[in-house]
Structure 1
Amino acid sequence: MRITQSIAPALLLLATGAAQAASAWGFDDGSVQIAAKKAAESVKEKFNQKSPLSKPVALGSTDTLKLMLTAKDNGKGKRPHQAFLVLQEQESGLEAPFPLTVKESGKAVVQISHKDLPVQLRVATKPLKASVVLASFGSAQGLDTPVFEVKIEQDANVPPPAYEKPLRYGKQPEIHHIFRPDPKSPPKIISLVFGLAVIAALPALLISWVSLGGNLNHLSKAIGVAPLSHATFFGSIVAMEFVFFMYYTSWNLFQALPVMGLVGAVTVLSGTKALGEVQSRRLAGER
């Protein structure tokens, strides 16, 4: 007898816990009504948790969808913490939740018109899946079950709403970069014409030096005083012209720049001494 009395409270607690764990949300007295401007065209269909509507309901541009049901927790009418009618576009999976107005007795209602729907759902070509979602705090299991489908009908006299799909960041096709072809040299005839023009300018340059009083008699003296500086300075000028020629014919910029920097440094160092020697003779009065 004592053993039975000690086991009875434990069994009672286990039974109570099992009952709480088995409780779940559901609904009853479900109905959907399409209210049109003309009362004769209004449609009302009834459904329950285990038997959704087999045919979609049509929602016109001027109609209003009204959903009514009684939310129940473990068979008793009760107000859940969350109660929604969720419309889902079946191709993209886009959802739009509409909260139900629920009383303490569990009586719930929601009304939806065309203007309440997102534009993505209003332009859907296939029926929208309508689901009832009920949930609350505690151990009661929530409910998410489809109840019917909604076919969106457009007004033939009104253009459909414009909709552009949003930009989605994701994997893009591989890009194969095509580099521009290397620049080509101008026609040889043009290069030949400018080359002859440069060569023809050399005699004109020499004639101008002679007419302006250029004196070549100091050439031997200049070379005698600073032969290395003058020879290097003149050679660096010729070398720079050669670099320009190579760049024009075959070299690229990255090949020409290092050589130009080296030749330019030689030109500055040798030119400083060579021109310094010429200046010293000018200051001494030699012409």
Structure 2
Amino acid sequence: MGLLSFCLLSLLAIAGVDAAQLSLQSPRFTISSGDASQLRSEPISLKQRPEPLKLAPTDVLKLSFQVVEKDGEKGVQPHQTFLRFFDAVSGEEGIQPVRVSSSGKAKFELNMAKPPGSIPPTTAENPLNVSLLLGSFEHSPARYELFDLFLPASQSAPPHELEHTFHPQPLIHHTFRPEQKVPPRIISAAGAILVLAPWVVLVGFLAHIKPSVPQLLSINIFPFIATLGASEALLFWYWVDLKLGDVLLYGGVLALFTAAAGKKALATKGDLRVGRK
């Protein structure tokens, strides 16, 4: 906010070079209590500050003045009028706009029961320096130191309902699955032999019977061999990707076709033995 007021005055100073300066006429403050009884009322001297003002939590400060051209009686409405509340200890400041009529008259009220949000945080020990900033494109800018103001200490802001979410949270510790245990090679080899044993038996039978290729590819024999191969492929697929439920579903359907094809193949075993089609 300090940079804002500095830039404001600098721009207005450039625009108002060699222009008439603004002045205040009849500046005055009044302090009243919550029951509207007047506690203090004095004119404000632009050459010497009054005794510091002090407000209680229910007091009301009223400030009135008229903006005129210096060494003149004509009222002027500045383009911008601000009250600056500055804490010299903390460096905090607040800017409060003031409405000025076309005749240059202005009134400002500070009710401590409902203070404006532009007031910086205060302590009971450090006063705020109150000054008036006037800016106009037709007149030179002006700044007037008005008084020092003691305000009640600011209360802490109520905690937000989600404030706890912005505090440091407990560290998240990830628990990873242990690496997959590979069975010993001898067990894997025994399992592979067990899976391939039916094929060894089948090949042994075929070697004993010695059927011809056209017989193996016949419509009675080939479906049974194909369904056996499909069963082996299903088991391999289960090992690579499928889940147990999928295997049971697909295997149950495939078992029906295998049983039907096997029954038909067994019905033709006599043909194979004697070498007939």
TM-score by length of 1: 0.48
TM-score, normalised by the number of residues in structure 2: 0.50
- Structure (1 or 2) with the greater helix fraction: 1
